Structure formats: structure tokens, C-alpha cells
Amino acid sequence: MVFVAGEDGTQHHRFTSLFDLWITGVGAVIAGDFFGWTLVVESGLGMGFVLVGSVGVLYAGLAMSIAELAVVPNAKGVAAHQFVVPYLGQTAGVVCAIGETLKCVCSTAAAVASIAAYLAESLALPEWTQEVIWAFVVVGIGVVAARGEVSHGFQVTATALSLLILGIFYASAAATGSLGAPKLNTFSHHKVTEAVPFALWFYVGVEGLPLAAPETSAPTALLPRAIVGVVVTVGLAAVLTLLASSSLANQQTLLRVNSHPLLATFRKAWGEHNPATATMAFLVVAGLVASLNAFLFYTKELLSQLAADFFPNARATRPLTTAAAAILAALYLLAFALDNDVADVSDAILWIAICGATVAYAAQLVAFLAMRHQHRYLDMFHWRSPFGATGAVVAVLLDLVVFLCLVLSAVERPKYQPGAIASLLFFAIGLALFARRSQAPSNDDDDDDDDDVVSPFPFQLEEEDKY
């Protein structure tokens, strides 16, 4: 998920083909088909298709906008908040950074909870053992992540494994003769509010693909097609996942297994005691572990970047240890607040991740619109989003709808309220720390140095740029 070369000279692969970009983008998000989407099924299969399509439009507009932000002249980084600060100021950048942190930490925590659920269910372990497995998974993946970013070849293999698992899942539904049995016009409007946010889970991570723009040999030619290809692939996989799961298991069964729905559907298709069912569960875990390694590595990199940008004078930290601690703290604090109901913990941690994502997305989209408004005359200097400002406006409106549905679901469902309170506290504490740092006297002689960070990118042509 970290696509570009760092300033330390670390060698990263360069994207030279459409396949490289496509497989990387799909690999970053395909794990979303393994868990977290069962509430979308509850809204009705027809409504589920509508939600998947609408969210696909949101992510297409978002990804194209971020791609343009990533390649503008004088771009000073590829983290989400680094796109926001130049156009909306440091406070908006902090809000974006907090949202991005919640998204990364809690998405990783959700994957940990899903791995634990698949293992415990496939091995017929008591429910409480999942909380023990959380710690072992985080520590184990942390040891692997400490060795550095996974290779491109490993990402390709992990993505191929995940696609193979989903292919078997779809084929199993087709083999039973029940694929397509559910009515496509089934709608349940009273469940839509809760389902809308979780439709995002299929796509969370697509927004990372545009960060490959600076390291793509021909971004103008390859990146738009890659983004569209990834969004279409993920959307098609989501539709097939909803269709196959609805064909094999009823809604009530799926709602009880939101952290491990594929296991329930394989049991329905192949039999609960069939060794092949357990084998598929372990393959799902292998696919999730492969993705989790990338999630944790990216979370570590994000925390390291945030410390450098907002707290440059702070003592050296251990970002990987901090990331692992944050993931476990999120899981165990929610478990305490929800009376150790691991199913509710999984739903609540997803709620927080999606909440953080919507805030970060809104900030980046508004920054894109501000950049377009301020620097329209630079058309010839950088790659342009084919969807333009219209695509960004549509994406902002869809993002706002998702956020409002998140708020309504937290008001109506007590299991989301601890997560909502934790999110509010996290934003409040983060902003308070930033305000305190901003008011602290600077040790630098020139207090105007910060203006280069707060103000919009200058975009003033140097002499050599005029010719």
C-alpha cells in the first residue's frame, strides 16, 4: 500500500504496465469481500446493488481527484493530510490526518478481528478465545512487518489467492443451482441507513492507488484506466459476493457472522463437517494475513509521517510498536465497552474505520476543489482528472450521505455508540494537542518559516520553468 519511493533512497518498484497498477489496487481492497458487508445484504439484494454502484461512483471521483493532487507541481508528499494542508490550512490537515489514522488503525483492527473469528469458528473454539487470538495475530504480523514492506511479487501472489477464494465461493453458489434465486427487486428501506456506510467497506483502500502516480512511467495513459479497472473489478466482486451469499445463506445467518461470512456460506454449500470447508477457512485466513501485513506496514508509515509533520521536535518514537498498541487498544477497549461481545466489536470497529475514512475523503475532495479553483491556469503543467470538479462534487455529496447515515446508525443502534464516542474523543484530543503545539513558542529565529506549510503551494514559476 506504500507505492512511492521515500526520501531515504529506499528502492520501490516502478509501475510500468496497466496490470501492475490493477493488481496492486485490487490487492489493497479485495479483503473487503471476506467480511464486514453482511448489513448490506440485510438492506435487500436490489438495494445492495444500488449501494455498491453508488459507492463505486464515489471512489472513482475520489481516486481521480487524489491522483491529480499527487502530481501537481511542488507536491510535498503523498499522505492524505499533505494534500489538504496547502489548500485548506493546517487545522483541516490535522482533521484529515486524524480521520486517516482512524481509518488505518481500525481497518487493520477489523482485519485482525476477522482472522480471529475465522480461526475460532473453523476450529470450534469458544468465543472468548478470539480476544486472545487478537494479541497473537498483532504480535505475529508486527514481527513480519518489522522486516519491511512486502515485495510486489508477494502482493501479486496474495491477490491471486484472494481472487481464487472468491472464485471458488461464486462457483459454489452456482453449483448449488441457487445462484440468482433471490429476487433482485427486494428492498428493505428501513435497513438502508445502517447498510449505506458498510457498502464502503468493499472499496476502502482504492484511494491508495493514485499515490502510485509519481512512480508510474506513463500516468496520463495508465492511471485513469487502472483506477476505472480497479473500481469496476471491486464493484463486480461486491455484486457477486452479495448475490452468492444471499443465494447460499439467509439474512439472519449472515448477520450473526459479519466477521466471517464466507465460512458460513461454505458450510451451507459444502456441509459443516466437510474438510474442504475448513480448508477454505484457512485459505481465507491466509489471504487476510497477507493483506494485514500491508495494512500494518502502511499504518506504521502513516504514524511516522504524522509525527514528522506535526510534531517534528518530539522524541523519536517506535511507529510499528505504536501502531500495534493502537490496534490492540481499539479492540480491547471496545470489547470492554460492549461486554466482550466480539460480533459487536467487529461491527463497531468497522464503524470507526468508515467514519475516519469519510472525514479524510471529504477533506481531500474539498482540497482538490480548492486547488482547481485557485490554480485553473496551470492546465498544461500536470495531469488532470478526467472527471474534473464535477466528479469531485458528486463524490463529496455521496460522502456526506454516508457520513449522515453513520451518525443516524450510531443514534439508533447502541452497539455503535462506544465507537462514536471514541471517535469524537480522538478528534477532540488530536485537535487539542495540535492547538497546544501551535501556541508553543518556536525555537527558530524566523517565525515565518511555517507560512510555507500553511499557505497554498506557491505555484510561482521559476525562471527555468518559463521556457
- pLDDT tens string 425-435: 999 998 998 88
How confident is the model at residue 466, as a pLDDT? 33
Written out in words, the top-level CATH class of the domain with range 18-437 is mainly alpha
pLDDT of 447 higher than 70: no
Q: Decide: pTM greater than 0.75.
A: yes
Rounded to 5, what percent of the chain is helix, strand, coil? 75, 0, 25
3-state class of 227 per DSSP?
helix
Least confident of 7-16, 106-115, 216-225: 7-16
Q: Cell 529506499 maps to which residue?
A: 10
% of the chain beyond a pLDDT of 70: 80
How confident is the model at residue 190, as a pLDDT? 59
Across the range 126-152, mean pLDDT stands at 83
Least confident of 24-28, 237-241, 398-402, 443-447: 443-447
pLDDT of 257 higher than 90: no
How does pLDDT run across 365-421, given as a tens digit for each residue?
A: 999 999 888 876 555 456 788 898 999 999 999 999 999 999 999 998 899 999 999
382 backbone dihedrals φ, ψ, rounded to 5°: -150, 165
Buried b (16+ CB within 10 A) or exposed e, 21-35: bbbbbbbbbbbbbbb
Name the more confident of 305 and 406.
Answer: 406
pLDDT of 316 higher than 60: no
How confident is the model at residue 177, as a pLDDT? 60
Q: Which of 347, 285, 345, 292 is nearest to 123 (CA)?
A: 285
How confident is the model at residue 73, as a pLDDT? 61
Name the more confident of 186 and 96.
Answer: 96
How confident is the model at residue 386, as a pLDDT? 87
How does pLDDT run across 286-298, given as a tens digit for each residue?
A: 888 877 877 777 7
Residues in the chain: 467
Q: How confident is the model at residue 14 (pLDDT cuts 50, 70, 90)?
A: low
Q: How confident is the model at residue 448 (pLDDT cuts 50, 70, 90)?
A: very low
What's the rounded Cα separation, in Å, for the pair 409 and 417?
9
Q: Supply the mean pLDDT for the chain.
A: 81
pLDDT of 171 higher than 60: yes
The residue ranges of every structural domain in the chain are 18-437
Angle at 137 between CA 134 and CA 140, to 5 degrees: 145
How confident is the model at residue 460, as a pLDDT? 37
Are 305 and 114 in contact by the 8 Å Cβ rule? The answer is no
Name the more confident of 27 and 307.
Answer: 27
| Alpha-helical regions (H) of 79-186 | 80-88, 90-122, 129-145, 152-175
Least confident of 19-28, 304-313, 328-337: 304-313
Least confident of 172-181, 227-236, 354-363: 172-181
Cα radius of gyration rounded to whole Å, the chain: 22
pLDDT of 2 higher than 50: no
What's the rounded Cα separation, in Å, for the pair 219 and 159?
23
How confident is the model at residue 417, as a pLDDT? 92
| Residue 314: count of CB within 10 angstroms of its CB | 10
Across the range 9-29, mean pLDDT stands at 73
Burial of 156 from C-beta contacts in 10 A (0-12 / 13-18 / 19+)? middle
In DSSP terms, which residues pair with 15 in a beta bridge?
A: 216
How does pLDDT run across 172-214, given as a tens digit for each residue?
A: 888 876 655 555 555 555 578 889 999 999 999 888 888 776 6
pLDDT of 26 higher than 50: yes
How confident is the model at residue 440, as a pLDDT? 63
50-59, 75-84, 444-453 — most confident range: 50-59
How confident is the model at residue 13, as a pLDDT? 47
Q: Cell 447502541 maps to which residue?
A: 414
Please, how many CA atoms are within 13 Å of residue 357, restricted to the half-sphere of its CB?
32
pLDDT of 302 higher than 70: yes
Q: How confident is the model at residue 4 (pLDDT cuts 50, 70, 90)?
A: very low
pLDDT of 29 higher than 50: yes
